[in-house]
Structure 1
Amino acid sequence: MLVVENHSLDEMSSEMPYTFGLAQRYGYATASTALTHPSLPNYLAIAGGDRFGVTDDDPPASHAASGPSVFGQALSLGRTATLYAEGMPGTCALEDGGDRYAVRHNPWAYFVDERSLCRQHDLPLDTFAADVADGNLPNAGMVIPNTCHDAHDPDCTLGDADRWMRAHLAPVLAGPDFASGHLAVVVTADEDDGSQGNTVLTAVLHPSQRGHVVGTPLSPYSLTRLYEQVLGASLLGEAATAPDMAAAFGLRVRRRTG
């Protein structure tokens, strides 16, 4: 999963031609909506099936999310998980810094029960290219651009984000994990800019998708559910009743356990 910041479906489809071209080639949803503003509650919802009462963008020192994340679930099942964060200084950084790294966009850093796992598997983006080339992408993965390349900062545009997506997605789509059919790539946004009722582009890139346009209403909890279906994990919180993204796109995934 790769996440853009604060832009609507209409904005992303018109101003990110490479990314939206992939969405049209493979598949995308027309009724995928974020839960709220600002960013952090949406990221926590994706990672943990709950907003944990968070209504702001404050750092982990202010918000301790208890219980498992989808990344911790993966590791507890003997599978793999990695969050790749561009510009992050070190692993599982709990404060802003580095090259436009924003901790509010790194949900795993908030899950206090998994802090030791986060320190091992929440990594700077530098490791991503090698994992792509080696066919070593994780069972549960998330890629977080810095605040320029996710089009958040005012001096950066969706064009900048689109060029960044091309640079990082093209190798993935040409790589062994995608060719195997075992990898689905989701591109989405955490929230819109307030212009489209929080409707965002959510694209699913997988060899089974061929111009698939899905009208099923989806939410960040649908993304939680998709992670857990891929893992064969129990459904956390609101994911248990969220619209089924795998079914909407016709993706074949593991049976749920527990």
Structure 2
Amino acid sequence: MKLVSLITAFSLISGLVEAGNERKFTTIQPDLTEIRKAQATAQPYEFKEEYVPGKVFDRFYNIWLENTDYDKAAGEPHMKDLRKKGITLTNYWAVTHPSQPNYLASVAGDYFGLDHDEFVRMPANVTTLANLLDAKGISWGEYQEHSPYPGFQGFNFSNQETYANDYVRKHNPLVLMDVITSDETQLSKIKNFTDFEHDLEAKKLPQWSFITPNMTNDGHDSTIKVAGTWSKNFLEPLLKNDYFTEKTLVVLTFDENETYEEPNRVLAILLGDIPEDLKGTEDDTFYDHYSLISTVQENWDLPKLGRNDCGANVFKIIADKTGYENIKVDMDGVYNNKSVEGWFSDKHIPLPPPHCCE
């Protein structure tokens, strides 16, 4: 309740800030010649780290799709089939609109007032979940479909045959963070699907990963039927792969709902090494994108970022085994469909320091 009160108070104060003072950034957008030149020399990071055992799982994989209301996603036939193989989180929420701030929130524990999909960068003094994993020696990486090469920082990359949107920066959370992109080794961990197939075949996948399909396969520029078909085709072989599935938790979810005026609840399915008696079940605990951080923190006993990861509910499949006590949330009035003012939305607002999580 204290957290809700603080957020409400901040919203009232932030409504008084001067309009038109949002921060501006210079867009990185290399041309095709520059991209091809970089492709010839870019080297993906090769994961060699020994696995650090988690309390419940040894791998945690995020797979995000796009802009679909809960009922439409849950009723799509391929999604219904996947739900039978895992746990459906029926009370899982995005944190705002539009897409990019949700991706940012999933690794930074905050969206810092971001309310658009334009080119942005977080300063290097803002840490992420990846930094917490590094501190414990836990490997991490991203796999972005049709990113042209490891560590690509451009705003987008179009299909070179159809010129349709393919890869977009706004759906790549860690490339938004200067603390990652300022280090060549860290940057080389942001790879594409060709690298995923290589790492899977070599049995050298990282312990934590964020996987984003392209703008067609994620449903953004297509339909939930396309996204559902892609999800089934991508996941079913992996779920039959013993190397991939053993002690792996996969979270398949959506960045935000489609109908902005409605409550921002989205479908999320837990897959992977799910006990047989839990397959096809539902969990109605309140979660949001910050739970993706708190669950990883609980599984590997990581420190906090000191943002909205503090107090975020942990997925029950882990909380039940570790003794973590989730909070029952009063859902009356929960919408999560408007942005709170912050560092991005007004240049006079400073970056908030990490707060105590007690």
TM-score range, shorter chain: 0.7 to 0.9
Counterpart pick for 2:99 among 31, 39, 56: 39
- Matching residue of 1:218: 287
Q: Indicate if the aligned counterparts of 2:92 and 2:265 stay in contact, CA closer than 8 A.
A: yes
Q: Amino acid of the residue matched to residue 167 of structure 2?
A: Y
Q: Indicate if the aligned counterparts of 2:298 and 2:314 stay in contact, CA closer than 8 A.
A: no
Pairing 1:85–2:154 present: no
Q: Amino acid of the residue matched to residue 52 of structure 1?
A: F
Greater shift in the superposed pair: 222-231 or 42-51 = 222-231
**Could you list the runs of 5+ residues in structure 2 that have no partner in the other structure?**
1-61, 160-165, 325-358
Q: Distance in 2 between matches of 1:144 and 1:4?
A: 7
Q: Amino acid of the residue matched to residue 150 of structure 2?
A: T
Counterpart pick for 1:185 among 245, 250, 253: 250
Q: Amino acid of the residue matched to residue 312 of structure 2?
A: A
Deviation string 1:104-151 (CA, Å, 9 cap, x unpaired) is 000101110121244210001111123334443321101101111100
Q: Amino acid of the residue matched to residue 201 of structure 1?
A: L
**1:1-258 equivalences in 2 (<5 Å):** 1-15=62-76, 17-60=77-120, 63-64=122-123, 66-94=125-153, 95-99=155-159, 100-115=166-181, 116=183, 117-153=185-221, 156-180=222-246, 182-194=247-259, 196-205=262-271, 206-208=273-275, 209-236=278-305, 237-245=307-315, 247=316, 252=321
C-alpha distance 66-53 of structure 1, shift in aligned 2 (>3 A): farther
Q: Distance in 2 between matches of 1:30 and 1:217?
A: 8
Q: Distance in 2 between matches of 1:19 and 1:136?
A: 28
Q: Which has the higher helix share?
A: 1
Q: Amino acid of the residue matched to residue 193 of structure 2?
A: L
**Other structure's SS at 2:309 match:** helix
Across the aligned residues of Structure 1 and Structure 2, the Cα RMSD in angstroms comes to: 2.2
Q: Indicate if the aligned counterparts of 1:214 and 1:248 stay in contact, CA closer than 8 A.
A: no
Q: Distance in 2 between matches of 1:118 and 1:193?
A: 33
TM-score using structure 1 length:
0.88
C-alpha distance 101-2 of structure 1, shift in aligned 2 (>3 A): same
TM-score using structure 2 length:
0.64
Q: How far did residue 79 of structure 1 move?
A: 1.4
Deviation string 1:197-223 (CA, Å, 9 cap, x unpaired) is 111001101322322201111111111
Q: Indicate if the aligned counterparts of 1:70 and 1:140 stay in contact, CA closer than 8 A.
A: no
**Other structure's SS at 1:184 match:** strand
**Other structure's SS at 2:195 match:** helix
C-alpha distance 234-177 of structure 1, shift in aligned 2 (>3 A): farther
Q: Indicate if the aligned counterparts of 1:230 and 1:254 stay in contact, CA closer than 8 A.
A: no
Q: Amino acid of the residue matched to residue 67 of structure 2?
A: N
Q: How far did residue 228 of structure 1 move?
A: 2.3
Q: Indicate if the aligned counterparts of 2:295 and 2:313 stay in contact, CA closer than 8 A.
A: no
Q: Distance in 2 between matches of 1:152 and 1:88?
A: 16
Deviation string 1:149-197 (CA, Å, 9 cap, x unpaired) is 10001xx2212112211222122211234442x1001000000001641
> Number of paired residues?
249
